[in-house]
């Protein structure tokens, strides 16, 4: 699968997804400091699922109606951050293409997936 990792996405998650065979472009590597709207536009243009730890992206998609090829929001408290890379790779393996055009929240022991609101 193709992902665009926002700057807030931990390097360990990016490495774990790449190690699992996924195509991951990291904003920190190609366009550090890009505005959220620019990041979302790039993800949509390249049909990449945006993966982030920044809840502002959920606001852009749900409240402001921005289009997205898919969005994964990671919500892990510091006490269990070590489990994050494995949890993300497992969620991606389990859900696969169902992540496209969906808003997904990955938390410790829980994955929530919803359709994007209509445009």
CB 97 within 8 A of CB 68: no
Name which of 31-40, 61-70, 80-89 the model is least confident about. Answer: 61-70
* CA separation for the pair 64, 101 (Å, rounded): 16
The overall pTM is greater than 0.75: yes
* CA separation for the pair 38, 36 (Å, rounded): 5
Average pLDDT over residues 67-96: 92
Question: What residue ranges define each of the domains in the chain, with the CATH number in brackets?
Answer: 2-115 (3.40.50)
Average pLDDT over residues 75-88: 93
Task: Report residue 74's pLDDT band, with 50, 70 and 90 as the boundaries.
Answer: very high
For the cut 60, the answer to whether the pLDDT of residue 102 exceeds it is: yes
Q: What is the mean pLDDT of the chain?
A: 89
DSSP 9: S
């Amino acid at each position: 699968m193709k992902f665009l990792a926002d700057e807030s996405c931990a390097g360990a998650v990016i490495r774990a997804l790449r190690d699992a065979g996924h195509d991951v472009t990291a904003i920190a590597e190609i366009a550090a400091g890009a505005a959220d709207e620019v990041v979302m536009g790039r993800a949509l243009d390249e049909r990449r699922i945006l993966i982030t730890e920044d809840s502002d992206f959920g606001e852009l998609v749900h409240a402001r109606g921005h289009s997205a090829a898919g969005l994964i929001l990671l919500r892990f408290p510091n006490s269990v951050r070590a489990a994050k890379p494995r949890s993300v790779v497992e969620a991606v393996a389990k859900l696969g293409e169902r992540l496209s055009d969906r808003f997904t929240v990955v938390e410790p022991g829980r994955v929530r997936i919803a359709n994007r609101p209509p445009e």
